[in-house]
Structure 1
Amino acid sequence: MHEQTPDKPLPRDGEPYPDDGPHRRRPRPKPPEDRRTAGAGIARILDEHFAQPSAPPSALTGAFHDIYVPIHRNDDIANAAHRADADRVRSTGRWLVRHATDRCAATVGLALLAAVGTTDDIPLIQTIGLLSHRFGPLAAHALERLPGRLESLLWLADRVTGWGRVYVVEALCRLDDPGARPWLLRKAVDGDFLNGYFAGKVATVARLHEALSEFERDSELLDHTGRLLHVMTYCGGMGTTLRRYPHAAVVLEAHARHVGRLAPTIERFFIVAVLARHLTTEPPENHGSTEAQRDAVLAAYFSLLDREDWCGLARAGLAAEDNRLQWLADSGAPQLHLRAFADRDVPADDE
């Protein structure tokens, strides 16, 4: 599957997996009530296995079916890996990642490589990491601890979506490496709802507020900034919102000042409308602005939304049933009374 789309995420994150489907014998075990014990049973199996010098890696196939296997780094599993001979642990992890036909054993194999893997294992870790919903957390942790971590994490970040993207982008943010800044500022947000878990971290770690002078010559940065701002309007309970982002006012002002020089697109119209809606429904102090600063940003946004070329594109997108514009017209921003949707405005009931 990766060879068919070498520079893109796997379709459906690689699902269905080999152990999916009606042939599965029983539901997977649920996590224990005390999550701190989640890896204890696996560690015992590993200790017993590595205590037998002649036991091949294939002996672990099927050994974890009846045990909950955590998908994140686990101290008990990592400690079991470090108690045994490192070369044997590595060869066992490699075999399980390459040959296991069930997620349980493959996950344990990846956990072993996350504990004692070397740079030789990076291509294998990246490959299994493409199945990112399941293997993303351990793959990101494994790559994060190895030399060349920035390059290997960026390679994977370009090829994962959903939860996998959350794990890898958060790992890049933890690195706080200047080399990650260009990617974080231009590519981190891909439009998935789960971007809410890391958008604020990206803006903070990549020092977005220091890059605003680049808006004049970098439309990719400007568009991505719009996506970051949009995500921070809705991500309460997930990550940093505009209310908690200390540079919200200056970034909003710069975005409003520069986005109008770009040609209209459906995404730009949608983001500007959503930001305008947010600014009209939140007090200015919730994004660090004075009332005058908020009004100036709103005026810039409404000026764009009223421009004939922007309105014409929005009408065409609505006619083509673009879901973003349908949401805006029907429920996302009717209180804005946008000219592009004038014929869809529904008068309020007289009471």
Structure 2
Amino acid sequence: MSAREWPERHTYLAHALALSALHGPGPWPDGGAPLPDAKPPAEQPFLSEVVFEGIRTHHGAAGDDEADAILDLVARIEALTSGPPDAAALHDAAALEALHDAAAAVSPLSVADVLVRECTERDLDGGRFREVGRWLAENGGRRAAVAVGIVLLGVAGDTRDRSLLLLLGALEDLTLYATVALLRSQPDRDRAVFDLARRVDGWGRIHAVERLAGTGDPEIKGWLLREGYRNGIMNEYLAHLAATTGDLAGALAADPVSDDVIDGAGGILLALCNGGPARDMTDYEDGPVAVERYLVQVGRRPPVLRRMAIVGTLNRSLTDLPWDGAVRAALSARCTGLTDRADWRATLADAVGSDDLEVFRRAIWPATTVGVPIRDRLKHHLPAAPFDMDLWWPLVDDPGDFDEVVELATELLPLDDLATGPGLTLTFCAGPAGILDVVVSRLADHPGTGWPLIRAALSNETIRNRNMALQALAAWPTVPAEVAAAVREAARIEPDDRLRAAMAALLADRG
């Protein structure tokens, strides 16, 4: 086999090129999934590699627990890059294939830092070292092997590798590695990462934008405020970075301020108030100033439903913020002054009263944040859109008569179709099964009601629905014979050991 006669495989590079031809530079649908080496759906882990690495980099530690594998990789790389000065790094096809397979077997997150250290401590030929990294990146058919190639390009790559790193980095499973490689190999590191950040949306966006913290580039700072903080995971991961690096408070003091900056600012402030997995409003020194300037800016503009909702949410959040009491009171008064303003209320009333479902749906959030009743309007729209979760959530959370909710769900949901028989689906389902879940999950607070809904949930394919049904029944003071018989039959065919035991325990407890 000659140096260029590589075995046939569906490479990540070919996959990325196909996606680029179909969808442009990115973001790509599903972050580029399914990947060339993806397992069949039935064999896929609960958490994908990119999700696992995202959680691990933000909420855990990546260890160097693959010491033997790292030393083996380094030895293979060293052998490929040694030899006479005129020898090519790609002269040994069998050795390259062996390196590919060895790299495919490691966790790239675990080995990356140690691999870089071990390789840089050796006197390896830089040009041939780059060739090896490039070969893995271009010819790899396994995620870990391609990631290792990208890591090597971060050590020995240069401007010639920029396009390749951007292309492969648009696959969100590789964005983290491509981001670090761009930072290490490109002279305009911020601009290179900025280019990649705009090509991704989920964990890839988070990994890339986090490396832009503290940038002084005006274009990047403006993009962070307008849209750069947004991602498909949680905006809370990037909101604080956008507010500080992008100078949110300063941007809101400008005259004029564009609508896209206003709307970006609203999203950032909302995420900061939500709190969560990253730094939030309590960590934002300019928070009071930014909120005040945001309120001034939206007050100068015609009322917009989303801005009403953000102002209402900010007002509710002020109570829990550790700011000076007088400052919080002044900001709260300004929020209330806006949400009570006649033109704001009129705009909201028109949307709440609309028979256009899309218009009404946009009114739900602002109405709930400022205390405008919408229960009757929800009931009005549900018969025409019985599987619209946006309508059911506020209805089940409404403090009004829950018997009405039970009656409506019993009437509108296809209960016979939902009694599919038990399965092992763990996740929350969309559509009728999800609505059944939402309603039945509240029935424990209303013991003795909703048996038709509970009966359907008890026979639903999702474990969660069956569990919610049991929790509801556990709150009943007594279990009628009809109900006990249904639980007994459900236990007989229940495939989940824990749920089957819980059903038996309920029957034993109620004798």
Q: Which of the five TM-score ranges fits, normalised by the shorter chain?
A: 0.7 to 0.9
CA separation of 1:77 and 1:126: change in aligned 2, threshold 3 A: same
Tell me the secondary structure at the aligned position of residue 289 of structure 1. helix
Pair 1:143-2:182 in alignment? yes
How far apart in 1 are the matches of 2:343 and 2:66?
Answer: 54
**Which residues in structure 2 correspond to 1:1-351 (within 5 Å)?**
1-22=19-40, 35-38=62-65, 40-53=67-80, 54-56=91-93, 57-70=96-109, 74-82=112-120, 83=122, 84-132=124-172, 134-145=173-184, 146-190=186-230, 192-214=232-254, 216-236=256-276, 238-279=277-318, 281-282=319-320, 285=323, 289-303=327-341, 306-313=344-351, 316=354, 319-320=357-358, 326=364, 333=369, 336-338=370-372, 343=377, 346=398
In the TM superposition, what whole-angstrom CA distance separates every residue of 1:260-295 from its partner, at most 9, and x where no partner exists? 44455553343333323323x435727992423332
| Aligned residues of 2:206 and 2:231 also touching (Cα < 8 A) | no
Tell me the secondary structure at the aligned position of residue 246 of structure 1. coil
Shift of 1:77: 1.1
Question: Identity percentage over the alignment?
Answer: 27
TM-score (norm 1): 0.82
| Aligned residues of 1:199 and 1:232 also touching (Cα < 8 A) | yes
| Aligned residues of 2:77 and 2:99 also touching (Cα < 8 A) | no
| Aligned residues of 2:104 and 2:143 also touching (Cα < 8 A) | no
How far apart in 2 are the matches of 1:34 and 1:278?
Answer: 32
Say which is worse superposed, 10-19 or 142-151, in terms of deviation.
142-151
CA separation of 1:241 and 1:191: change in aligned 2, threshold 3 A: same
| Aligned residues of 2:69 and 2:106 also touching (Cα < 8 A) | yes
| Aligned residues of 1:19 and 1:101 also touching (Cα < 8 A) | yes
How far apart in 2 are the matches of 1:288 and 1:66?
Answer: 59
CA separation of 1:42 and 1:114: change in aligned 2, threshold 3 A: farther
In the TM superposition, what whole-angstrom CA distance separates every residue of 1:220-271 from its partner, at most 9, and x where no partner exists? 11110001001101123x2222222111111111111221444555533433
How far apart in 2 are the matches of 1:126 and 1:156?
Answer: 6
* Counterpart for residue 501 of structure 2: none
How far apart in 2 are the matches of 1:76 and 1:127?
Answer: 25
Q: Which consecutive unaligned segments of at least 5 residues does structure 1 have?
A: none
Look up the equivalent residue of 1:5 and give its one-letter code: H
Look up the equivalent residue of 1:194 and give its one-letter code: M
How far apart in 1 are the matches of 2:154 and 2:288?
Answer: 41
CA separation of 1:283 and 1:88: change in aligned 2, threshold 3 A: closer
In the TM superposition, what whole-angstrom CA distance separates every residue of 1:75-129 from its partner, at most 9, and x where no partner exists? 2111233223221221111111111111010111111112221111111111111
Tell me the secondary structure at the aligned position of residue 36 of structure 1. coil
In the TM superposition, what whole-angstrom CA distance separates every residue of 1:141-194 from its partner, at most 9, and x where no partner exists? 122232122222222121211111111111111444445212222221226442
CA separation of 1:34 and 1:241: change in aligned 2, threshold 3 A: closer
CA separation of 1:80 and 1:209: change in aligned 2, threshold 3 A: same
How far apart in 1 are the matches of 2:375 and 2:231?
Answer: 24
Tell me the secondary structure at the aligned position of residue 243 of structure 1. helix
TM-score (norm 2): 0.59
How far apart in 2 are the matches of 1:258 and 1:142?
Answer: 40
Shift of 1:14: 0.5
Instruction: From the CA coordinates, give the structure whose radius of gyration is larger.
Output: 2
How far apart in 2 are the matches of 1:328 and 1:171?
Answer: 35
How far apart in 1 are the matches of 2:67 and 2:326?
Answer: 48
Tell me the secondary structure at the aligned position of residue 240 of structure 1. coil
Shift of 1:61: 2.2
| Aligned residues of 2:225 and 2:265 also touching (Cα < 8 A) | yes
RMSD, aligned α-carbons: 3.5
How far apart in 2 are the matches of 1:192 and 1:41?
Answer: 37
| Aligned residues of 2:351 and 2:359 also touching (Cα < 8 A) | no
How far apart in 1 are the matches of 2:331 and 2:157?
Answer: 52
Shift of 1:318: 8.1
CA separation of 1:108 and 1:288: change in aligned 2, threshold 3 A: farther
Shift of 1:35: 4.1
* Counterpart for residue 460 of structure 2: none
Shift of 1:25: 9.3
Shift of 1:213: 2.3
Tell me the secondary structure at the aligned position of residue 283 of structure 2. coil
Q: Which consecutive unaligned segments of at least 5 residues does structure 2 have?
A: 1-18, 81-90, 379-394, 402-511
| Aligned residues of 1:249 and 1:288 also touching (Cα < 8 A) | no
How far apart in 2 are the matches of 1:306 and 1:255?
Answer: 16
CA separation of 1:282 and 1:49: change in aligned 2, threshold 3 A: same
How far apart in 2 are the matches of 1:307 and 1:323?
Answer: 16
Say which is worse superposed, 290-299 or 249-258, in terms of deviation.
290-299
| Aligned residues of 1:40 and 1:77 also touching (Cα < 8 A) | no
* Counterpart for residue 447 of structure 2: none
